[in-house]
Chain A
Amino acid sequence: EPEVTQTPSHQVTQMGQEVILRCVPISNHLYFYWYRQILGQKVEFLVSFYNNEISEKSEIFDDQFSVERPDGSNFTLKIRSTKLEDSAMYFCASKKGTGVSSYEQYFGPGTRLTVT
């Protein structure tokens, strides 16, 4: 069964460094998302991406964040200058489309980002 994959599973970085989190969505899906979950808290929406552009973003997704689909398979989240409070699990998700049975988002296993 196709699944969303994410790399790396765990990333440790120093404050102020740039990180890129990578995702490979399910191949026939058209909509892509990033969410984050600070340890022990709820899952929060960051950004949605469709047709090579951001369709919606949350207030968390400030100028330090950017997303890109550099080729036909990868979807990346870049944090330009990491802060301690960026430490969280980052989930990538994809969705097939807007058809009747296409509203569920399928999540990857997550990347745990630790900023020291």
Chain B
Amino acid sequence: AQKVTQAQTEISVVEKEDVTLDCVYETRDTTYYLFWYKQPPSGELVFLIRRNSFDEQNEISGRYSWNFQKSTSSFNFTITASQVVDSAVYFCALSEWATGFQKLVFGTGTRLLVSP
């Protein structure tokens, strides 16, 4: 069964702090994709990153970085030097080969509050 767990429901930081959002997933598939989406207060879902199960290289994009570790079934997201505009709910999601990658299974989200 596929499942995504985001144990942190809400994190509050002060601007310029680094913050890591945790994501743990469960799947029986060996081929799958992991995603992070951002949901700002305006409500839309914004795609941030996709990772496939065969690529464990960490990725950095500006202030964002992602750490994928198959050994611990985790796909964590770090924001360096956080800014107020980073305040949003962040969702981790999983898509499996067994479903033809036809659906995303989301975690419950982590609300990040960045205060000035």
Residues of A participating in the B interface, judged by any CB pair closer than 8 Å: 31, 33, 35, 41-45, 48, 50, 55-56, 58, 89, 91, 93, 98, 103-110, 112
Contacts and interface: CB of A to CB of B under 8 A. Distances in A.
Contacts of A55: 100, 102
B108 A106 contact: no
B45 interface: yes
A33 B50 contact: no
Nearest to B93: A43
Contact of A103 (B33, B46, B107): B33
B45 A44 contact: no
Interface size classification for chain B: 20 to 34
Contacts of B68: none
Interface of A is mostly: strand
Contact of B107 (A42, A93, A107): A42
20 contacts: A42-B107, A42-B108, A43-B45, A43-B93, A43-B104, A48-B103, A56-B100, A56-B102, A58-B103, A91-B45, A103-B52, A105-B104, A106-B47, A107-B44, A107-B45, A107-B46, A107-B47, A109-B42, A110-B45, A112-B43
A48 B102 contact: yes
Nearest to A98: B101
Nearest to A46: B103
B87 interface: no
A91 B91 CA distance: 14
Contact of B99 (A56, A98, A103, A106): A56
A10 to B, nearest CB: 11
Interface in B78-116: 91, 93, 95, 99-109
